[in-house]
Structure 1
Amino acid sequence: MQPYVVTDDAIAAALTGAPGDAAQGRALVLNRTSTCILCHSGPFPEEKFQGDLAPSLAGAGSRWSEGQLRLRLVDGSRLNPATIMPSYYRIDGLTRVGAAWRGKPILSAEQIEDVVAYLVTLRQ
């Protein structure tokens, strides 16, 4: 796990020190294993079944900065302790974790950066 610094409501610096790949990020968002579209909808006309439990991802890049998006992915519970969104890059303090996931983040630092790179492109 890469160290990071939370300032206000954001993690300004990339976890990997480099920008992610937006195309890989889009693939992760649409992959039901990473669970994004189980709860979120967005500008994905090819996807018939999209979630409605969480805000639409359409316009995410206009609503939040890169750093704000990064913190929401890494550990959204820092912003909203009652959130149902998983902390994708956190392993400490979690109690309801399947045996296969204990001690491992859901997404790697590279995958977090890929998703951030894609979400910042969603301007409308």
Structure 2
Amino acid sequence: MKIIFTTAAIAALSCTGALAGEVAPTEVKFEDGAIAASLSGKPGDPAAGREIVSSKSLGNCVACHAATDLADVPFHGEIGPPLDGAGDRWSEAELRGIVANAKMMFDGTMMPSFYKTEGFIRPGKAYTGKAADDTFAPLLSAQQIEDVVAYLVTLKE
């Protein structure tokens, strides 16, 4: 009877995400710039990821990258590589690492670290011109990172 109860409890916890859990920005484990496991413990949503990539107030990826799939979004940048074919060029783990903190894979990159909360020289509080306080958070949440990765994986040549 104990085995059945324990198994049921573990199953219930895993369904609520209590076992998987979210990885805090300070606890992310990089391996050669890649992050093997989900940061949120949940699968990403490619449609939500497309919205984040194209949104000027969220990821704003189009400020530096062009993507054919985002032709409806004006003013694509040319600083970063095109996002077309990203799902062929990099694995899901590599894409997760690049979006979370590209500096771990590409030394000297200008790409911002979207899932980082420490190690900055002078972080500011959003667009206020003031220093960061105790509410300092990463640019994107763990689930938003997973959504962006899910979208980028769909971009094939």
Question: Within the alignment, does 1:51 sit opposite 2:77 as a pair?
Answer: yes
TM-score, normalised relative to structure 2: 0.74
Larger RCO, structure (CA 8 Å, separation 6 or more): 1
| 1-structure distance, mates of 2:74, 2:28 | 36
| 1-structure distance, mates of 2:43, 2:122 | 31
Aligned residue in 2 for 1:82: 108
Question: Within the alignment, does 1:41 sit opposite 2:66 as a pair?
Answer: yes
Equivalent pair of 1:20/1:116 in contact (CA under 8 Å): yes
Find the partner of 1:106 among 123, 128, 139: 139
TM-score, normalised relative to structure 1: 0.92
Unaligned runs of 5+ in 2: 1-23
Count of residue pairs brought into register by the alignment: 124
| 2-structure distance, mates of 1:96, 1:54 | 24
The CA RMSD measured in Å over matched residues stands at 1.5
4+ residue segments displaced more than 6 Å: none
**How far 1:82 sits from its partner (Å)?**
1.2
Structure number, greater radius of gyration: 2
Unaligned runs of 5+ in 1: none
| 2-structure distance, mates of 1:84, 1:96 | 16
Letter aligned with residue 73 of structure 1:
V
**How far 1:30 sits from its partner (Å)?**
0.5
Higher percent of residues as helix: 2
Identical residues among aligned pairs (%) = 44
